[in-house]
Structure 1
Amino acid sequence: MANLRTFDLNLLLAFDILMRERNVTRAAECMFVTQSAMSHTLHRLRQQLNDPVLIKSPAGMQPTALALALVEPVRSLLQEMERLLEAPQAFDPASSQRRFTIAATDYMEFLILPELSKLIEQSAPGVDIHVKRTESAFPLPQLENGSLDVVLGFASVLNPPAHLHCEHLFTDRMACVVRQDHPRIKAAPSLEDYLAATHMLISRTGDKLGVIDEKLVELGLERRINFIVPHFLSAPLIVAQSNMILSLPYRLAIAFQKLVPLDVLPVPVSLPDYDLAMIWHPLWEKDPAHGWLREQITLIGRNIDASEILL
């Protein structure tokens, strides 16, 4: 019997056709080759299998016992290969029970997930979404092995490897919020007023240094941060009942303003706008289900981006 490492797998298709036709001329016609070429292929099959494969008889070419034993396994293998090489089946969200896993910051959760849940409830009720928090180390292994579908967050912070796909979702900029009846800050704060106030910081790691503080350090300035929380959930409620200033992304500030009485004001520090992005591995680029998920998130991002930043 031939060794798989030395066997020419291209001969399997010829074997299957020869077993169906049991005639070299008809097999050659099926494979669109000459009779001579098909005879040569049969000769190579005999050499690699160390078996006559087909033997002439008064009733025509007859397969050997080995050839008969190989017919069904070879046919099944070719059918499986054909299935694998076919174009992926279209994804039907209405009937799918696919589970997607998303890594995101709580900021992206707050802006993306409510709309995503609405879209899924309407068009893909059987689809499940599992959200994981982004970690300090970029989750490349999880994207490669498929345990994570996409990562959502600040493009500059995530800094993904160049070979990954990174799609812009929307732009944001820093703003600040204070309670509506704040005793000192009634309008856009000056830098002096901003530095004189006490501040609240949202820091998942507990670090007492954010992007604003890094900029202030460059200017030789410092603000007083006397309240640090690890996530966004409690932040608006605390600010609405205190005299602290909370600096955060504008689009999140507007969402908070709908929940509690807050004034949204510009930050008196010059900072660039920043991009929010979706990142995925090219291994899953052609997967129809994966593409559907990305389309939903892209649509939500475009709608967010279309809303003007009024600062």
Structure 2
Amino acid sequence: MGQLVQESEAALRPIGKLDVPQLVRTFTLRTSEGFVENFGPALIARVSGEAPGVQLRFVPKPDKDSTPLREGAVDLETGVLESTTSPELRTQTLFRDRYLGVVAKGHALSKGKITPVRYAAGRHIGVSRDINRDAIDLALAHLELKRKIVVSLVAGFATAVALARTSDLIATVPERHTGNLREGLHSFLLPVSTPEFTVSMLWHPRLDADHGHRWLRDHVRAVCAGAR
């Protein structure tokens, strides 16, 4: 029923030019870990500056299920595309990201060269939803090394960074998704090679030509590209 209502509303929206300053609408964004903290402030500022009647509603993304997009409960989503991503969805690349190590100031790894041995020997935070965890551990295994995971988290990277800030633990997190969160901490390149990954935005085809939705997508793309 929700999908039918959404499709009917989209069909009734005027085809002409969008009157952005007069736009009154709530957009629901389902975002991956760290997106709101790092890209939210700039996106909110851009949107509010042009359309004060628009409200952004951010909801967490605990899984890859595309049902919320299909049923109209979510307008836009961000994340990493996988083989299970519904082929009906529209997608567009936002940016490439990579993993970094993060420790508190004064930590042993904040000084000197970071070698695979030094990195593996530390006390690590594991994140259960980390898509790159296996790649890191496999690269270390080729060197006959293994990380010691002291604590495992379901919550995600924001919590991992917070733990690293107040302990001797090592967090391994995406660079761009944790940019603001890592302020005041020591970040370093991983001493093993791991693949970069692509973060995209996803939406349902019924919103493809929706003027308001296209306006929002333009701002999300600009913010993620670093535009101001």
- Which one is further off, 209-218 or 282-291? 209-218
Match of 1:48 in 2: none
Q: Tell me whether 1:103 sits opposite 2:27 in the alignment.
A: no
Q: 1:227 aligns to what SS in structure 2?
A: strand
Q: 1:292 aligns to what SS in structure 2?
A: helix
Does the 8 Å CA contact 2:157/2:173 hold for their aligned counterparts? no
AA of the residue aligned to 2:180: A
AA of the residue aligned to 1:231: G
Match of 1:227 in 2: 151
- Higher relative contact order, structure no. (Cα contacts within 8 Å, ≥ 6 residues apart): 2
Match of 1:16 in 2: none
Distance 1:86 1:227 in 2: 50
Does the 8 Å CA contact 1:178/1:246 hold for their aligned counterparts? yes
Q: 2:48 aligns to what SS in structure 1?
A: helix
Task: Find the partner of 2:210 among 287, 292, 298.
Answer: 287
Q: Tell me whether 1:132 sits opposite 2:59 in the alignment.
A: yes
Distance 2:86 2:194 in 1: 25
Task: Find the partner of 2:161 among 214, 236, 242.
Answer: 236
Identity of aligned residues (%): 26
| 1:279-307 deviation per Cα after TM superposition (whole angstroms, max 9, x unaligned) | 11122111111111111101112217x9x
AA of the residue aligned to 1:287: D
AA of the residue aligned to 1:187: G
Q: Tell me whether 1:182 sits opposite 2:98 in the alignment.
A: no
Distance 2:57 2:12 in 1: 30
User: What is the TM-score when the length of structure 1 is the normalising length?
Assistant: 0.62
Does the 8 Å CA contact 1:178/1:243 hold for their aligned counterparts? yes
Q: 2:111 aligns to what SS in structure 1?
A: coil
Aligned residues: 216
- Give the deviation of 1:87 after TM superposition: 6.2
Q: 1:270 aligns to what SS in structure 2?
A: coil
- Which one is further off, 232-241 or 292-301? 232-241
Q: 2:206 aligns to what SS in structure 1?
A: helix
Residue 214 to residue 226, structure 1, CA distance change in 2 (3 Å): same
Match of 1:90 in 2: 17
Does the 8 Å CA contact 2:103/2:109 hold for their aligned counterparts? no
Distance 1:219 1:268 in 2: 11
Q: How does 1:1-311 map to 2 (within 5 A)?
A: 88-139=15-66, 141-156=67-82, 159-183=84-108, 185-203=110-128, 211-217=135-141, 221-229=145-153, 230-258=155-183, 261-303=184-226
Residue 129 to residue 254, structure 1, CA distance change in 2 (3 Å): closer
Distance 1:145 1:252 in 2: 27
- Give the deviation of 1:217 after TM superposition: 4.9
Decide which structure has the larger Cα Rg and report it. 1
| 1:87-137 deviation per Cα after TM superposition (whole angstroms, max 9, x unaligned) | 613322211211111111122222221111111221111111111211324
User: Which one has the bigger helix percentage?
Assistant: 1
Residue 299 to residue 159, structure 1, CA distance change in 2 (3 Å): farther
Does the 8 Å CA contact 1:177/1:253 hold for their aligned counterparts? no
Kindly report the root-mean-square deviation, in angstroms, between the aligned alpha carbons of the 2 structures: 2.8
Gaps of 5+ in 2: 1-10
Q: 1:257 aligns to what SS in structure 2?
A: coil
Q: 1:106 aligns to what SS in structure 2?
A: coil
Distance 1:294 1:253 in 2: 22
Does the 8 Å CA contact 1:172/1:251 hold for their aligned counterparts? yes
Gaps of 5+ in 1: 1-83, 307-311
Distance 1:276 1:116 in 2: 16
User: What is the TM-score when the length of structure 2 is the normalising length?
Assistant: 0.82
Q: 1:94 aligns to what SS in structure 2?
A: helix
AA of the residue aligned to 1:242: S
Does the 8 Å CA contact 2:20/2:51 hold for their aligned counterparts? yes
| 1:172-195 deviation per Cα after TM superposition (whole angstroms, max 9, x unaligned) | 111111122113551341000011
